[in-house]
């Protein structure tokens, strides 16, 4: 759309990227005015759930910026940001919202870089066009599943311990191998995302496993495994049969975790 102007929200850390934005402003550097800023003390305080909710409210793009790695004012805040946003972007890029979330590092002295990053991201979103959430229910369903994946207490617990256990170690001084921790984290991510997809695609009416497999593109055997876990959590119950296929009903207000 030639006349489309994106609505973009930026989360800027107080100590580096917000100062870089300020430098760009006082230096009269030119960049698009599409950005609206939320100033946070550390990029590590930006929750993936908040980013997903921002998109669900109709924003066209979200950018998170922070201090360069090893320069965080709070030592390890941006390590947490890097891992969380990497996982969030990977999931969002599997949906029709691909390309609408970005993570960048900008220091207080990089006014020129801040202006360039914002111009590039605005151009990217302008090329993508308006958010599809208003007209594409499948896109909204996919994004709701991403949001609820990162609401999972199990996933949040593993993400929260990732840096601590690989860099600092346990109370006994043991450090977990990053590759081992990464494998565990991604297994939890896949499981919680699959269950969130099941919940949001099932709807309010009873549904069969073949229909869920069709809607979620998850193999039927895997659907059955997740349904077994979710039944133990009282999130799903049996609701009769459709021929030879059992029907499953998602409990009202069921979530992941």
User: Radius of gyration (Cα) for the chain, nearest Å?
Assistant: 21
Q: Indicate whether 116 pLDDT > 80.
A: yes
| pLDDT score recorded for residue 255 | 65
**CB of 200 within 8 A of CB of 148?**
yes
Return the CATH fold of 152-250.
Arc Repressor Mutant, subunit A (1.10.10)
Give the distance between the most distant pair of CA atoms in the chain.
Answer: 71
- Residue 2 in this model has a pLDDT that exceeds 70: no
Packing angle between helix 220-232 and helix 178-202, nearest 10 degrees? 90
pLDDT digits (tens, 9 = 90+) for 48-70: 999 999 999 999 999 999 999 99
Return the CATH number of 8-133, one of 3.30.420, 3.40.1350, 3.30.40, 3.40.50: 3.40.50
Chain-centre distance for alpha carbon 165: 22
**Token duo for residue 99:** 């390309």
Q: Give domain limits for the chain.
A: 8-133, 152-250
Give per-residue pLDDT as tens, 145-201.
999 999 999 999 999 988 888 888 888 888 889 999 999 999 999 999 999 999 999
37 membership: H or E segment, kind and range = strand 35-40
Task: Classify strands 245-250 and 207-208 as parallel, antiparallel or unpaired.
Answer: antiparallel
230-254 residue pLDDT tens = 999 999 999 999 999 999 999 987 7
Residue 237 burial (CB < 10 Å; 0-12/13-18/19+)? middle
What is the rounded (10 degree) CA torsion for 109, 31, 88, 214? -170
H or E stretch including 11?
strand 8-13
């Amino acid at each position: 759309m030639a006349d489309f102007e994106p609505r973009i929200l930026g989360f800027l850390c107080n100590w580096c990227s917000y100062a870089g934005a300020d430098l760009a402003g006082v230096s009269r550097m030119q960049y698009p005015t599409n950005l609206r800023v939320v100033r946070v003390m550390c990029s590590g305080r930006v929750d993936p759930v908040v980013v997903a909710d921002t998109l669900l409210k109709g924003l066209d793009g979200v950018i998170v910026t922070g201090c360069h790695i090893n320069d965080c004012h709070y030592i390890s805040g941006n390590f947490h940001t890097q891992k969380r946003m990497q996982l969030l972007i990977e999931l969002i890029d599997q949906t029709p919202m691909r390309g609408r979330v970005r993570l960048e590092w900008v220091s207080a002295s990089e006014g020129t870089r801040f202006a360039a990053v914002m111009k590039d991201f605005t151009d990217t979103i302008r090329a993508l066009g308006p958010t599809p959430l208003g007209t594409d229910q499948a896109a909204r369903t996919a994004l709701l599943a991403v949001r609820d994946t990162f609401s999972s207490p199990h996933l949040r617990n593993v993400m929260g311990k990732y840096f601590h256990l690989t860099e600092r170690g346990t109370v006994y001084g043991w450090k977990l191998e990053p590759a081992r921790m990464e494998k565990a984290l991604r297994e939890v991510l896949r499981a919680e995302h699959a269950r969130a997809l099941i919940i949001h695609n099932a709807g309010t009416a009873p549904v069969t496993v073949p229909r869920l497999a069709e809607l979620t593109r998850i193999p039927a055997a895997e659907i059955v495994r997740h349904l077994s876990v979710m039944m133990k959590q009282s999130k799903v119950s049996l609701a009769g049969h459709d021929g030879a296929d059992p029907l499953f009903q998602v409990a009202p207000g069921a979530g992941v975790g």
